Amino acid sequence: MREWLNAFTEQAVVVIDIMAAVLIVIGTVEAFLMVFVTWSKPNHEKRDVWLRYARWLIAGLTFQLAADIIETSVRMTWTALGQLAIVAVIRTFLNYFLEKDLADAREKQRSIV
């Protein structure tokens, strides 16, 4: 039974990591292209590009965190636990600053209207 669990989780982790990589690549390509589209636009449009990019990164990191949680639950090693902690900390900081930027953007929109 343990072998089956290990085999299943290994495959699940690979699939979820691929999904995370796809999200990050799509977001990166989109942000790269949008930089050229918004090159001569006002700063708030450029900021929207980076906020959208941050959302893609957070989505990718969330998937990576899920994969790390699955992997850590099967292989309780200090290395796996350390990797899980690092991803969780990065995701938490990104999420915090994204939410702060979104709140600032909402506040600026209210003041314009």
d(CA 8, CA 2) in angstroms, rounded, equals 10
Report pLDDT digits (tens) over 14-31.
999 999 999 999 999 999
Cα 75 to Cα 10: distance, rounded to the nearest angstrom? 10
> What's the token pair of residue 11?
């495959």
Asked if residues 47 and 105 have their Cβ atoms less than 8 Å apart, the reply is: yes
Report the distance separating Cα 111 and Cα 74, nearest Å.
Answer: 51
Domain holding 82, by residue range, is 2-112
Question: Looking at residue 34, what is its pLDDT?
Answer: 94
Give the pLDDT score at 45.
Answer: 80
The reported pLDDT for the residue numbered 83 is 83
User: pLDDT tens digits, residue range 30-89?
Assistant: 999 999 998 888 777 888 888 889 889 888 988 988 888 888 888 778 887 888 888 888
- Asked whether the predicted pLDDT for residue 113 surpasses 70, the reply is no
Q: How many domains does the chain have?
A: 1
